[in-house]
Structure 1
Amino acid sequence: MTTHWPNPFIEQRADPFILRYEQHYYFIASVPAYDRLELRRASSLLDLRRAEPVVVWRKPESGPFSELIWAPELHRIDNQWVIYFAAAPTRDIKDGLFQHRMYALVCDDADPLTGSWQAPRRVFSQFDSFALDATHFVHQGKNWYLWAQKDPAIPGNSNLYLAELLNPWTLKGTPVMLSRPEYEWECAGFSVNEGPAVIKHGARLFVTYSASATDENYCMGLLSIDDEQDPLNPANWHKSARPVFTSNWDNHQYGPGHNCFTQDERGNDVLVYHARNYTEIEGDPLWDPNRHTRLKNFRWRDDGTPDFGVPPADYTSVP
């Protein structure tokens, strides 16, 4: 088991997502220019560092998804490859928010790196508002879509919503809100719940998410629900009153978040996230490219909850 992953794992890749599918690992993330979707593939987790990026889609010059391509994720849904991402028509900020909406790219070919990707389809939700960070998971035999969005009636930037999927780009039924920013650590700089990620352990389903502004205040929260309970009943979800993964000044790791989960080749759970190694950001943090992808093994407590520990210091070689 690798316990000391190179840190950073992949430089200048924020919002990282790793999919383990059959005999390969796939990596996708936001690129600093926010202008394209890249995929990497390797037969081992460590080899993703050296895998050649393949551009599978570039943004058009104009139109509804022509700016700020954010937070892509690659999923395998009912024998189709799907990339979820958020994009805006311009870089303009209106009413304090960017103008992102959610989109799905679909590929029916066997190989997502060489296959033909269909034109982006917008994923419509209950609001026509700022929306991003969609993820997919299978639970109770159903496909689920989990994302962050602004409710015009609720102060703040974004809340977390859940809906069943009819197909990869169409929601089924009425979405429900699972969480909104309410604690001080969720409202530092901006009131944000975003970047949800799902992991199952024992008889529970866990959702991590990221909160606050994308500087050193960025941190991770945790929701959980018993396996058998109805996920569309918000009352069934439990929310941690404290963050579960935060900046660490001793290790010079700041703003850890926008995570996902994968497993190494031996089946050990691995936390995938981004963080910076400094706090002095010139200008808008959005355009600072040094949110690097990082990996960390973590353990499960006796009560069945995840213990993510603290973000480890930069360490560029594997012992």
Structure 2
Amino acid sequence: MDRTIADLYGKLLSGAPADTASSIKAEQRGWLKGRSSCEVYEQNQEVIDCLRKQMDSRTGFLKDETRNLAFDMIVASIPGDPKRAADKLRALGDDGRAAGWLAYLARFEPASGVTREEGDKAIDRAVASLQSGQEMLTGEDDPHKDAGLIMLLRLLIQNNQDSMVVECPQSFLFKQHPELAYKAFGELYGSSMDSGAPYCSPRDGLFTQPAWKTISDAFSAPQEVLMRDAGSMVHGHFAAIATSELQMSVQPQDFATNGPERLKKVVKRIQSWNNGKVWPRSDRTRLIAAIPAAEKQTAQWLVEKRGLPADMAARTATGIVASYLEDWIGWVEDPEGGG
């Protein structure tokens, strides 16, 4: 059993991109610690039974993860080789997720060879596979229309988010269909059903720099306090904010307009907050002090990751910082209405 698990783990790891492989390794280390709990038993048979249960479960999990990884890699390959992706999706038979992406290929990737008739049939299979959300697919969101087809993909991902191994294999949607994708993947229900949306973190580490961590941490206290009495709508508000942050990383130029003016105004809003029990002054002071570093680090990120000229990167960075703060102070000021 141990050899079987090692083989499955090695196969999973070898097929994963670098960032996903790191997560897989960390998860495996966590499982090994859990397996060690079997040593609490004193009788050999009890230890054996415990190990067998642990390793049976792990074997099934790794087989599932290998299948899920293969599916994620097919989706991620769509922009580069749509025809090959189509062949692999067809091989998955009645899988509802595969049907949704075949429908996407029929609509948006003619080089895939998926006909409109095949795509229409795939839509019916994909919709039938949904466990929830079918009621959203009406009017402009009819999946036989462009907006509705992107919405169908969001619902398929939402219904199967626990099956995702690769972080955001569908990231190309936000570059190729920005207006449709940001709308479909953002706040949809205004309830806990929005939890996890847009199922895609900001790209290329935009908010991982030290100054951004300081700013993010500064909002921890009001989140902790305000969440105590917050209703389920908060998940919708957070989905909207997360979608905005994703857009900042994919289309940063969209946030460049009037950056200095907006930043000045939002800083005043933060400074004028007068409820220290909800948001301590010390946290707000650290936040404001971190803003210049966040602008500098973001400008450098824009040059390195998005190829912007230095002057444009500086203007865009200020706009991104302003937009981020506007989103979060808006929620802090009006947690039920989302600002």
What TM-score comes out, normalization by structure 2 length?
A: 0.24
Larger Rg: 2
Q: Determine which structure has greater relative contact order: mean sequence separation of CA pairs < 8 Å that are 6+ residues apart, divided by chain length.
A: 1
Structure with more of its chain in strand, by fraction: 1
Structure with more of its chain in helix, by fraction: 2
